[in-house]
């Protein structure tokens, strides 16, 4: 993936929620950094002390199959002999330090900013939900129509599933 093709949306679409954490898999990070997954895994093994459990973890076989089934671009990982690694925001930053490449540093800054943007969006939704809840209690006793408006707003606030990628060749 060339740097000029790298967008925040492409990065965000690769961020997965596994074990209650937002993570990027080693396969995707390797593509973003322009290295092979094998090279990435070598650096992880050489620098194991830099990747504690809150920075990186290895997926279980069941998690690997679930990710492969749900993410079209990751289907090949179910055939890998090695279970993939998942990196949290801090793990991604540490990877840039062990790879010693200018591209890795630039891409990881972009990835970290995407993680931060996703965290801010989540916080905004929580804030809005709390304010809506308070407002609902204040006026909830007055009118059934207002209640239906709250229900409609809540439906609009639910996160939508990301659009599925079309199968096949895309020119």
Residue reference for tokens 């998942």: 86
pLDDT tops 90 at residue 1: no
What is residue 57's predicted lDDT score, i.e. its pLDDT?
A: 93
pLDDT tops 80 at residue 29: yes
pLDDT, tens digit, 9 for 90 and up, residues 46-89: 999 999 999 999 998 988 888 888 777 777 787 777 888 999 88
């Amino acid at each position: 993936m060339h740097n000029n093709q790298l967008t925040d949306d492409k990065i965000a679409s690769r961020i997965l929620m596994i074990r209650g954490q937002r993570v990027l898999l080693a396969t995707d990070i390797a593509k973003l950094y322009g290295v092979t997954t094998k090279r990435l895994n070598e650096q992880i093994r050489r620098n194991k002390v830099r990747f504690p459990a809150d920075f990186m973890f290895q997926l279980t076989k069941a998690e690997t199959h679930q990710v492969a089934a749900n993410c079209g671009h990751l289907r090949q990982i179910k055939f890998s002999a090695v279970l993939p690694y998942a990196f949290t925001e801090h793990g991604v930053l540490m990877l840039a330090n062990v790879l010693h490449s200018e591209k890795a540093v630039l891409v990881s800054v972009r990835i970290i900013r995407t993680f931060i943007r996703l965290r801010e969006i989540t916080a905004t939704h929580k804030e809005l939900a709390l304010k809506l809840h308070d407002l609902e209690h204040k006026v909830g006793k007055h009118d059934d129509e207002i209640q239906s408006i709250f229900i409609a707003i809540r439906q609009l606030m639910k996160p939508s599933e990301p659009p599925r990628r079309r199968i096949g060749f895309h020119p």
